Chains A and B, each alone.
Chain A
Amino acid sequence: MPGRTDPALVGYDEAVARYEPLIGLETHVELGTVTKLFCGCPATFGGAPNTHVCPVCLGLPGSLPVPSRAAIEYTIRIGLALNCSIAEWCRFARKNYFYPDMPKNFQISQYDEPLCTDGWLEVTLGEDEVAPSGQGDGGPRTFRVGIERVHLEEDTGKSQHKGGATGRIHGADYSLVDYNRAGIPLVEIVTRPVEGTGALAPAVAHAYVKELRDLLRALGVSDVRMEEGSLRCDVNTSLAPRGSGRWGTRTETKNVNSLRSVQRAVHYEIERQAGVLDAGARVIQETRHFHEDSGVTTPGRSKEEAQDYRYFPEPDLVPLAPPRDWVEQIRGSLPELPAVRRARLQDAWGITAAEMTDIRNAGALEEIEQTIAAGASPADARKWWLNELARRANDTGAELASLPITPADVAAVAALVRSGALNDRLARQVIEGVLAGEGSPDQVVAARGLAVVSDDAALNAAVDEAIAARPDVADKIRGGKVAAAGALVGAVMTATRGQADAARVRELILTRLTGS
């Protein structure tokens, strides 16, 4: 609201010391079906403006919606994966309001009869996330986030605002609307308020969205790209004085376009609302807009009255009554869910939760699993993906999965190292060669001549040279200081450009100088 100045923010730690946060999340997921929810237009991202439209999704007079079975199935999949009950009978409803990106000026959605209800999703924060908060013993913590409902609705078109400085609505002279996106199926997932998060509220919000995103990806129902808008989050935050036994007024923050923004938005709202409450003022129930660049939220338009959507059952659509055997068939086709899979693999690989978190954070789970399937040991697979390859991905700004090296390649490299044909240094060069497109590991080894030299005759020549160059060191070794051999090994490695089998070199040196 122009002219309104907020009280000063209260520092985060102080804010959560005196106030208890309550958070809730509303997530919209664009389904990856072939067609839109109510018509046969393509449900794909992009495309020249207004080329993926028909009378139905344009809402032309006389047009009628017909729902897609696939969209309903995907919604049930999501509901089942979130442990929801699936409605035996439900209807679509009209949500009525005027807005130029909505062709009919009502949205076909669901109101008091959602397709899925009463579920939950467990969210685990790792030690590294919990410790700094000073909450609990610093070990990992699990929160069960209640899912109130999962329902299906149609997406709106997209507007570009022209003439203003920022491209946003305020100050724009006019807008241009593209209806390609109108009618794409959207699943809305609403959590119950999440209590007891305390200082971990921002982290819990972040972890929830991340877990949800991974789950949706595993279900194959959406490509869940926040940056493309196929996963959208609104975050609700409220504060109440600790021990007051009541809940505060909540705000809804929109335009939260990344996982990190989810965390930052909650963090900021906690500081801001604490400042308001400390100043003796009341938090205004409103919609706020998150700014990526500054990390702050600002008020959206102020509404004279709460929006009345005049919901009523959609008369153009008949009720949905998903047969129970169909629901069970869908349940039977669910893949192993991410949290379950991680727990299983953690056990199978004999690693700790923290180590699994590292793998997850690097986005390497799939790759490591496949590398192990190709013959590598869990330790080797982790080592290569989390160190060398993760570093290279970061350097080029690429995702791990898109690096031009396959799990089979990595397994092959690990096998070469294990057999002694390569050492670590050489292996890194082989990997570099594969990434550069020079071929398979074997081809790179051959082309670059990177094999470890284990031929004693060749090695002895180098050993003799090294001994001759450092008589002082040789004497020490003869005198029993076996450790000094390291310097000579290094010299041989340098001379052989790292291709010598270091262990063998050491043996040869010791044999030469001590006879054993």
Chain B
Amino acid sequence: MPIARADVAHLARLSRLALAEDELDHLAPQLDEIIAAVARVQEVAAEGIPPTSHAVPLVNVLRDDVLVDCLTAEEALAGAPAVEDQRFRVPRILAED
């Protein structure tokens, strides 16, 4: 099923990518081609075949409830674009979660 340019624009919004119009013009047909190609997986008869999320079968890897050294606030904030009051300063958030 081909994917329309508007759908690609929607995907960009969902992915938080502010694509320019010419970028969208360039990427949309490429995405369309790729999606058509990967849709080939639907040709495979897979009735009753369980999906694999983890190739190597481990279970129950757990950790003891023991404290480990933290980063200092300085280390945590070292790469931050903006800091105030020892917190990460971020632009105004539009939507309440």
Contacts and interface: CB of A to CB of B under 8 A. Distances in A.
A318 B86 contact: no
Contact of B73 (A51, A175, A289): A51
A54 interface: yes
Interface in A159-190: 159-161, 163, 168-170, 172-179
A321 B60 contact: yes
Contacts, number: 139
Contacts of B71: 53-55, 58
Contacts of A7: none
Interface string B49-85: 0000110001111111111111111001100000011
Interface in B20-66: 53-54, 58-66
B60 A320 contact: yes
Interface stretch (A8-16, A66-74, A417-425): A66-74
B70 A52 contact: yes
Interface residues of A, number: 58
A238 interface: no
A49 B87 contact: yes
B89 to A, nearest CB: 6
Contacts of B62: 66-69, 72
B55 to A, nearest CB: 10
A177 B70 contact: no
Contacts of A40: 63, 66-69
Contacts of B2: none
Nearest to B52: A313
A69 B93 contact: no
B54 A315 contact: yes
Contacts of B89: 174-177
Contacts of A67: 61-63
A100 interface: yes
A48 B72 CA distance: 11
A319 B59 contact: yes
Given A52-B70, A318-B54, A34 B65 contact: yes
B97 to A, nearest CB: 5
B83 to A, nearest CB: 9
Contacts of A159: 90, 93
Contact of B65 (A55, A70, A172, A175): A70
Nearest to B73: A50
Nearest to B14: A308
Contact of A177 (B63, B69, B73, B88): B88
Interface of A: 33-35, 39-42, 48-55, 58, 66-72, 89, 91, 97-101, 159-161, 163, 168-170, 172-179, 289, 300-301, 308, 312-313, 315, 317-322
Given A69-B64, A175-B90, 4 more contacts: A41-B68, A41-B70, A55-B71, A322-B60
